Structure 1
Amino acid sequence: MKIGIVSQWYPPEPPNIPADLAAELTARGHTVRVLTGFPNYPGGALYEGYRQRWSTVESHNGVTVRRVPLYTSHDSSGLKRAANYLSFAATSAVAATTFLNGADAVYVYLTPATAFAAPALLKALHGIPSVIHVQDVWPDSVTASPLAPRGLAGRAIHRALTAATNQIYRTASAIAVIAPSMRDLLVARGARPEKIRVVLNWANESLFRPVTANADIGRRRRCTFMYAGAMGPFQNVGDSVCAAAAVSDVADLVLVGSGIDEDAARAMAADLKADNVRFLGRRPAEEMAALYAAADFQLVTLRDLPMFRGTIPSKLQAALACGSPVLVSVPGDCAELVEREGVGLACPPEDWRALADRMRQAAKLPPAERAEMSRRAVETYRTRMSLKAGVDAIEEMLEAVS
């Protein structure tokens, strides 16, 4: 097939799903073209070595990639974030009419939802079908953010985004969702159930895999929990710090990454005199597997919001691919999967006391039981979340709609 891929983000930016999909579909004999923006995520500044031009075409291992200009921003300003999303929507839609014309089908990495502008125009002008891979549910992920306005303006934005996203679900020829409950939510919002399929995200398998523990994380003779990733308003890092402070006799917490809530988390650790909480800052992606291996459990946390009951955080796939047992404080599908597959422990979100209890319970597990969790983690990833499993499903969906 001739397949188009639309994603606002693409390597060298972090999201790996679109690039992995493009490479694997090309290896399977398909012709793939990718429409994306100039790299600026997550810092919001244009990557070194790039200069924005209207038509920049690159070739990566047989995949043709066209980059279009966009407003670069990813700070705490809601207006600037909106300008970032909407500018890519506009430039990608214009470019798609020629660059992706003639495609048999288009795959859309649907975050943000505004990335659907180009596929919508292709459908209207040329009848080209699309498969959307919903990564987060709009408008929930927008209006629940502290960046969103409140009051009358907030309600107006919510209504407008609800109408727009519901139209996306109706227009798309097929819908892939990343968790079972997300399917139920989209059906409740008017999407036809027969065109929805659960396709779990996969990890970047070139980076996340079982390795020998040789990274220095300042490990002591206590059970070590690691939180690795963004420290923003949705991740609820503060509860992890509180929980760790309460179990300082048996556990350490190591935080890798950064974000707008990092300073508050550091201040909280200082106020609680939690000397068992350490911040390592951002680390290169190439170091993460070794860092994971140096800890006993990976910590996955999210706030208790309805939109998170139907999502599987990408940190879970990364941890399981590395064979790391997990402790999750996340609502819905993620917690159910962890407990069902026996790959870790779960507790209710936004309850630091429950999280502290689970930390203490995890610290008491014998080494043989942790080793069995690690084995089940790798097996669960390979059978349910791997690159092969995901691309098999998406390829079938693209073939079905073309």
Structure 2
Amino acid sequence: MHIAVLNQHHQNPDCPATCRHYSFMAELAKRHRLSLVASDGWRRARITDNYPWVPEGVELHECKVAYANKMGIAQRLKSFAGFAGSAFKRAMQLPKPDVIWAVSTPLTTPWVAARVARLRGVPWVFEVQDLWPSFPIAMGAVKGRWVKQRLYKMEKSLYQSASHIITLSPDMTEYVASLGVSREKITTNYNGTDLPLVDAALPQEVEALCLKHGLQGKQVVLYAGTYGRANDIPTLLQVVEILSGNPHIHFVFTGSGYYEPQLRQLAQRMPNLLLLPPQPRTEVFLLFKLAALSVVSFNNLPVLAANSPAKLYDSLACGTPVLVTNPGWTKAFVEEHGCGWYTPAEQPDAMAQVIEKLLAQPEALLQAGARGEAIARKVFDRRQLVLQVEEVLARAAR
């Protein structure tokens, strides 16, 4: 079948990104024709040049639209609108596909997909990566009651218009179903991780990385991800300071985003914080294997509890237990499978106490890590998750 993919935020493994769709498209292109409509916004984020920008067999139809995590609200809106206009034009020019697969965020991407699908008489599948507009509204990025009502109305109409909806977490599925969408129309497909890349991170490379950064004998707490407004970074900054007196605990942060200047300032003052630049996909697994514990943190906002954070999957697949701050499905998951712990968001003293207590129990950490790796290999393997997405697309096309 011919699958048209609309994704503003296309990235490849040379970028510091999860690359879910790169992995999926690489597999699907072996059996189907794929046309990708994407922006070039993340090309500038490439750190290495080890992978083609799109997988072999994927036809790229690129829109020149800038984007970066550091952008303010006005810049992001301009980027979203720019991609919507360009993507609509390119999608209309494609040979008629059998199905359109639209990846949100932002909500403007599925909006384009719905318009193209209606005009061309083809079905479309809506993949929900974050809950929009609930997320930007909760973050204060959307002002005005009328605007909010219009966005919620648009969201619901898109769920109704789509042939099928893919969500990345059970809580997202519950949210969509709560809007009156039939559960038969919704499939939960975890974000997942790339086990071949996990396995390629060899012990000797992990040891070399440890020596390079002088982390021998240290218990490393890792934060690998966006330093964004939603990631509770101010709490993590305070935790680093609180635990600076413990010579055995060392924090490693890798990523970029809004709070990067504050992190740089803290790293200059605190000897227990190593701040690394963003890492390509292949390298970040070495850091997860180096760490004794990783932190998956978000602000104390109900909408963020539905998130499907890539670092959760990557960490567990590497055998590193996680400390989560979301009270939603991630808390339930790590507690059910004994592969992590929960501490409330925006409570630095509580988080510091939990971290110090956990790192004093190395055997318990190892056991939790082993349980996490086992469940990750069972349910988070993208080579299996893509088969579920393929079936959803095939059913929609039929």
TM-score by length of 1: 0.87
Deviation at 1:106, TM superposition (A): 1.6
Q: Is the 8 A contact 2:198 2:318 kept in 1?
A: yes
Moved more, 260-269 or 304-313: 260-269
Deviation at 1:337, TM superposition (A): 0.9
Secondary structure of the residue aligned to 2:29 is helix
Count of residue correspondences: 383
4+ residue segments displaced more than 6 Å = 46-49
Query: Match of 2:20?
Result: 17
Query: Match of 1:53?
Result: none
Q: CA RMSD in A?
A: 2.6
Deviation at 1:282, TM superposition (A): 2.8
Query: Match of 1:5?
Result: 5
Pick the aligned partner of 1:105 from 99, 103, 116.
Answer: 99
1:34-73 superposed matches below 5 A: 34-40=36-42, 60-72=55-67
Q: Is the 8 A contact 1:10 1:36 kept in 2?
A: yes
Identity, % of aligned positions: 24
Cα separation, 1, equivalents of 2:63 and 2:98: 22
Query: Match of 2:382?
Result: 387
Cα pair distance change 1:69/1:279, threshold 3 Å: closer
Cα pair distance change 1:218/1:236, threshold 3 Å: farther
Matched residue type, 2:28 = L
Cα pair distance change 1:62/1:266, threshold 3 Å: closer
Cα pair distance change 1:68/1:76, threshold 3 Å: closer
1:251 aligns with 2:249: yes
List alignment gaps of at least 5 residues for structure 2: none
Q: Is the 8 A contact 1:105 1:130 kept in 2?
A: yes
Cα separation, 2, equivalents of 1:172 and 1:364: 50
Secondary structure of the residue aligned to 1:3 is strand
Q: Is the 8 A contact 2:111 2:158 kept in 1?
A: no
Asked which structure has the greater RCO (Cα within 8 Å, sep 6+), the reply is: 2
List alignment gaps of at least 5 residues for structure 1: 50-57
TM-score by length of 2: 0.88
1:280 aligns with 2:280: no
Moved more, 193-202 or 13-22: 13-22
Query: Match of 1:175?
Result: 165
1:2-401 superposed matches below 5 A: 2-12=2-12, 14-27=17-30, 29-40=31-42, 60-72=55-67, 74-101=69-96, 103-145=97-139, 148=141, 153-209=143-199, 211-212=202-203, 213-214=206-207, 215-216=209-210, 217-219=213-215, 221-247=217-243, 248-249=245-246, 250-267=248-265, 274-367=270-363, 369-401=364-396
Deviation at 1:375, TM superposition (A): 2.1
Cα pair distance change 1:11/1:283, threshold 3 Å: closer
Output one character per residue of 1:28-63: Cα deviation in whole Å (capped at 9) or x when no partner: x222221112233786xx9999xxxxxxxx974112
Output one character per residue of 1:292-344: Cα deviation in whole Å (capped at 9) or x when no partner: 22221111111111111112211111112222221222231111111111112
Moved more, 214-223 or 344-353: 214-223
Cα separation, 2, equivalents of 1:69 and 1:255: 31
Deviation at 1:206, TM superposition (A): 5.0
Cα pair distance change 1:383/1:37, threshold 3 Å: same
